[in-house]
Amino acid sequence: MKRNFILLAIIFGLSASTAFSMNSDPKLASDNPAIPAKTENKLSEEEVIRLTKRVEEIRDMDKSNLTSEEKVELRKELKEYKKALRNNKPFIYIGGAGLLLIIILVILLV
């Protein structure tokens, strides 16, 4: 009797997790939630050149005679430019476990 109860509890516990995971979120717009929706946020070459020149101007600027508010404004402006330029370039994100796996594979294959 006790064994049957434990087996039923295990079966219910394992099946309940899959049943609850099947509920789809109506907020998701895409069919596959693992694939994020693509957003086109490409900058033209002229905009990239203009932003990089402005970033270089800010870096080369003598900031010793600026007030603290002006420095904060420059910092915010620089962060916005860097964010816009960073979002323009495609990138590949490798997590810690993936990086570890790649290192182990390279060691084993060499």
Mind listing the pLDDT tens digit for each residue in 15-71? Answer: 655 555 555 555 555 555 555 555 555 778 888 888 889 888 888 888 889 899 999
Q: Where are the alpha helices (DSSP H) in the chain?
A: 2-21, 45-60, 68-88, 96-109
Structural domain contains residue 70: yes
Query: Which residues fall within 8 angstroms of residue 77, CB to CB, at 6 or more apart?
Result: 58
The domain in which residue 61 lies consists of 45-90
Give a yes or no: residue 108 inside a domain. Answer: no
pLDDT for 1 beyond 70: yes
Centroid of chain to Cα 58: 27
Number of domains observed in the structure of the chain: 1
More confident of the two residues 81 and 7:
81
85 exposure class (CB count in 10 Å sphere: 0-12, 13-18, 19+) = middle
The answer to whether 88 and 82 have CB atoms below 8 angstroms apart is no
Question: Per residue in 72-82, is it b (16+ CB within 10 Å) or e — as a string?
Answer: eeeeeeeeebe
Q: What is the pTM of this model?
A: 0.43
In a domain, 40, yes or no: no
Domain annotation covers residue 103: no
10 Å Cβ neighbour count for 48? 15
